[in-house]
Amino acid sequence: MPADVSLAGVSALDANSIVLKGVLNFDTVPGLMKQVELLIKQSTEASVDFSEVEKTNSAGLALLLEIVRFMQLRNANVQFKNVPEQIAIVARAYGIDTALDSAEFARQATA
């Protein structure tokens, strides 16, 4: 039985900024990505805040990378704020933290 996908959400702070909320896992991330795409599809520069994420696993990193890919395909920039340590640890383990263009993510990942 799949987990309750209502455990996660995304909200627009303004036209270029969103905040992710709740639990990022393999049940919640696919729906979140669709919502994220709708909210930032017109942005040339977006900010994604993880400050309200309560729990995550490698699916959170997959979401972050998918957002990077989505924005790169549109020649747009993205910055990540308050990236959870769980995501930074997995990114470092796979050596992909340096592939991310967000200065804040890189700073947090090396802390």
Q: Other C-beta atoms within 10 Å of 82: how many?
A: 15
CATH number at residue 33: 3.30.750.24
Residue 55, phi then psi, degrees to nearest 5? -155, 145
Containing structural domain, residue 57: 5-109
pLDDT in tens, 36-51: 999 999 999 999 999 9
Query: What is the number of domains present in the chain?
Result: 1
**What mean pLDDT is reported for the chain?**
85
Residue 2 predicted with pLDDT over 80 = no
pLDDT in tens, 45-69: 999 999 999 999 989 999 999 999 9
